[in-house]
Amino acid sequence: MASAERFTSPNFRAAKNTVATGPVVRFNWSHPAMRHCIFPGTFDPVTHGHLDVLARATKLFDDVTVAIALDTTKAPLFSGAERVEMIRPNVARYTNVRIVTFSGLLVNFALEQKAVAIIRGLRAFSDFELEFNMALMNRHLEEDVETVFVMPNEQFSYTSSSLVKQIAKLGGDIAHFVPANVVAALKKKFAA
């Protein structure tokens, strides 16, 4: 049976109304549960790589919260409010995205927001060990919040906020790595 036929066959329609023995799981097939994820980061500043991961998350989840971390071991160049304002025009086309700042443990924030997952971008294999360790710790702290790894487009695999800031500080061209409003914000910040 072809895969397209499987979902329209009488057997499939009958199977979805069948209750198996063991734990009972009931699905409301006409109204699937809303799925909400958190896309956390410092976003100092937001890059095309971040925006690519976000675009992919909007296809996977009904609602996406871009969560800008205020408690960080990094020394941010931009304030939380400045980072929100840099991201806002670049996500305006998505009706299912909101931007917030947060402090404290990410898993606690995810629970408060009733999110089922945390989205993390993996640029290269070098990111994996750190991200894997964070995902395991988050699972230890709160097993009901999953971590989903998303790979950005290959052209953004080497882009990071730190590198972008370094290039901008030295007067290099960063237009290929960040949106135009971020280019302007970085120029203004380093001109001061």
Amino acid symbol at 57: A
Pairwise CA distance, residues 85 & 185, whole Å:
10
140 given a catalytic annotation: no
Catalytic residue among 48, 83, 120, 123: 123
Catalytic residue among 48, 50, 56, 120: 50
Pairwise CA distance, residues 88 & 45, whole Å:
12
Pairwise CA distance, residues 19 & 179, whole Å:
51
Sequence-separated (6 or more) residues with CB below 8 Å from residue 46: 83, 86, 87, 90, 161, 178, 179, 182
Amino acid symbol at 23: P
Catalytic residue among 48, 83, 120, 161: 161
CA distances, 48 to each of 5, 94, 118, 158, 186 (Å)? 40, 15, 19, 11, 15
Q: CA gyration radius for the chain?
A: 20
Catalytic residue among 6, 13, 74, 176: 74
123 given a catalytic annotation: yes
161 given a catalytic annotation: yes
Residues classed as catalytic: 50, 74, 123, 161
